[in-house]
């Protein structure tokens, strides 16, 4: 009897408690998938250039959850977004993609770009231009002041991007453990109270490079890429011999790291970045080339019609000079090899013709020209002196010397088609299709 009671009790309990709970789980969640808006031309452009190929989202519209709440910030001007991102694409993504393929960017690039109109002002009075979080999100500030044609501004933004991207690369596979040992004593948390001169003296490429080895590595990489070979050499040239030794060691490690870790030829990458930057905001090659102890380069070498990429106009001129020299009497059979431009004195340049004489021995002939620069920066050549060999061969190479003296030229950057070489050239100021270039050096 007792058992029946208990049994009944238990049954009742079960029956009572097992009540039906039905919930409709097959419900659409409203608002899932984030913000949506009418897709404008800019949205489509970003989609085609960043989201589809690289799975990178570019958020230019204000989203209060993305920023530091303690700071006053504003959204970007819509018309500044595309020029900025065009430069990002051309001078960051495209060089890497061309070098090691699109998958490299897909694999390593930060996935979220957030754009902010103003600078981020920090309590100490400094300003932030860019910020990266965990290799995922990069915030770019100061978009409203961006100008694609202003090299200083373009370079600053690009440096931020390359800097943050370098962090991702070295966090994935670390740089050499010897790197922090190059200038171990120079790292300081107080880096923002030092001058650039102190940083240079300590063997650092920038003040921020002194913050930590990671920053040093990222600064080395980003500055070498954005300054280009010539710009970088100009910085190094201003350093003391000890500092130069340190910088060169770091440079070697960066180059080796990129080659060994990712199979990237760093100098080619550097040229590609420069080519893209020079497309929209060219630097002046003659700020690096010319006479003077402060300039890193004083000569252009190996100028010849046989180098691929020279303008057809110049090739004709060069070949005419070659033919003329070969036929020069007496003792015909001289072979024109190439020529150099040597900046040997202020406002003067020496045209050095390298050729073989009939006997096959190499000979040089030097023509010295006075240079004058007009208000638009175009340079003219006026002959001032010729050495003995030059006097002899002058009548045979008038095609070349007339080309030089009868035109005005402006300085330009040129690149080989594989971007392994960067050249400085002179282009007729009146005709962009007539130019020649050579290897800059000393």
Partner 1 sequence: MMKKLLYIALVITGFVSSCKKDTDPIFDDPDSRLSAELAKDQAILLSAADGWKATIYPKGGKGFSYYFKFTAEGKVTMMSDFNSTTASATAESTYRLKALQRPTLIFDTYNYVHLAADPDASISGGGASTATGLASDFEFAFTEVVGDTVKFQGTFNKNLMKMVKLSAAESQSILAGGLKTMIDANALYLTNNKYPYIPFSDGVKGAIAIDVNAKTVKLNYVDSKEVSQTQSTTFAFGINKIYLNTFLTYGNLSFNEMTWDAVAKTYYVMSGATRINLLNSPTPITPLSLMFGFPSTFTYRKITIPSTGLPAGVTSGFNAVYASMVSLFAGTGRTITSTSLTLNSNNTLTVDVVYATTSSFTASASFTYSRVGDTFTLSAPVYNGNWNTRATQVAPLQNYLLSGPFRVDWVSSSNPSNTSTMGGFYRTADASSFFYGTM
Residues forming the site for partner 1 (CB under 8 A): 2, 5, 8-9, 12-13, 15-17, 19-24, 27, 29-31, 35, 37-38, 40, 60-64, 71-78, 117-119, 121, 144
Least Å distance between CB 10 and partner 1?
A: 10
Least Å distance between CB 35 and partner 1?
A: 7
**Nearer to partner 1 among residue 16 and residue 184 (C-beta):** 16
Nearest to 266 by CA among 90, 438, 86, 100: 100
CA distance 74 to 115: 10
Query: H or E segment at 435?
Result: strand 435-441
CA distance 282 to 273: 12
Least Å distance between CB 24 and partner 1?
A: 8
**Nearer to partner 1 among residue 143 and residue 303 (C-beta):** 143
Nearest to 115 by CA among 176, 65, 147, 74: 74
**Nearer to partner 1 among residue 91 and residue 140 (C-beta):** 140
User: At 73, phi and psi to the nearest 5?
Assistant: -135, 165
Coil, helix or strand at residue 310? coil
**Nearer to partner 1 among residue 141 and residue 419 (C-beta):** 141
**Nearer to partner 1 among residue 121 and residue 291 (C-beta):** 121
**Nearer to partner 1 among residue 16 and residue 134 (C-beta):** 16
Least Å distance between CB 117 and partner 1?
A: 5
Least Å distance between CB 84 and partner 1?
A: 13
Least Å distance between CB 91 and partner 1?
A: 24
Is residue 246 within 8 Å of residue 203, measured between CB atoms?
yes
**Nearer to partner 1 among residue 112 and residue 319 (C-beta):** 112
Across the chain, which distance is largest between two alpha carbons, in Å?
Answer: 140
CA distance 133 to 164: 9
- For residue 138, list its beta bridge partners: 113, 132
CA distance 289 to 66: 45
CA distance 214 to 6: 73
Least Å distance between CB 52 and partner 1?
A: 22
């Amino acid at each position: 009897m007792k058992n029946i009671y208990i049994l009944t009790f238990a049954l009742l309990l079960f029956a009572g408690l097992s009540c039906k709970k039905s919930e409709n789980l097959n419900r659409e969640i409203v608002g899932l998938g984030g913000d949506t808006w009418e897709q404008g031309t800019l949205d489509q452009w970003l989609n085609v250039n960043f989201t589809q190929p690289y799975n990178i989202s570019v958020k230019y519209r204000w989203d209060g959850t993305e920023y530091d709440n303690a700071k006053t910030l504003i959204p970007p001007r819509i018309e500044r977004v595309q020029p900025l991102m065009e430069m990002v694409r051309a001078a960051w993504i495209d060089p890497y993609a061309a070098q090691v393929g699109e998958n490299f960017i897909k694999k390593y690039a930060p996935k979220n770009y957030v754009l902010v109109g103003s600078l981020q002002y920090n309590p100490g009075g400094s300003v932030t231009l860019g910020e990266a979080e965990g290799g995922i999100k990069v915030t770019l500030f100061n978009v409203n002041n961006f100008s694609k044609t202003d090299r200083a501004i373009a370079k600053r933004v690009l440096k931020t991007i390359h800097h943050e991207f370098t962090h991702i690369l070295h966090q994935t596979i670390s740089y050499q453990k010897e790197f922090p040992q190059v200038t171990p004593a120079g790292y300081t948390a107080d880096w923002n109270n030092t001058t650039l001169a102190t940083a240079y003296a300590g063997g650092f490429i920038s003040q921020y490079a002194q913050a930590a080895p990671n920053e040093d590595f990222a600064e080395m990489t980003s500055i070498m890429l954005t300054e280009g070979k010539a710009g970088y050499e100009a910085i190094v040239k201003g350093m003391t011999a000890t500092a130069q030794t340190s910088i060169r060691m770091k440079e070697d490690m960066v180059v080796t790291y990129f080659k060994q870790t990712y199979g990237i030829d760093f100098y080619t990458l550097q040229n590609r970045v420069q080519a893209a930057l020079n497309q929209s905001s060219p630097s002046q090659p003659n700020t690096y080339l010319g006479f003077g102890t402060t300039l890193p380069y004083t000569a252009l070498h190996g100028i010849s019609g046989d180098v691929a990429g020279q303008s057809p106009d110049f090739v004709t001129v060069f070949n005419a000079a070659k033919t003329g020299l070969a036929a020069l009497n007496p003792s015909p059979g001289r072979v024109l090899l190439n020529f150099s431009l040597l900046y040997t004195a202020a406002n003067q340049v020496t045209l050095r013709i390298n050729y073989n004489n009939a006997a096959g021995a190499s000979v040089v002939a030097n023509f010295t020209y006075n240079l004058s620069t007009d208000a638009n920066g175009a340079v003219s050549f006026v002959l001032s002196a010729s050495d003995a060999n030059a006097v002899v061969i002058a009548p045979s190479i008038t095609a070349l010397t007339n080309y030089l003296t009868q035109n005005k030229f402006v300085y330009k950057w040129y690149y080989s088609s594989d971007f392994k070489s960067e050249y400085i050239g002179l282009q007729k100021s009146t005709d962009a299709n007539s130019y020649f270039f050579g290897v800059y050096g000393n």
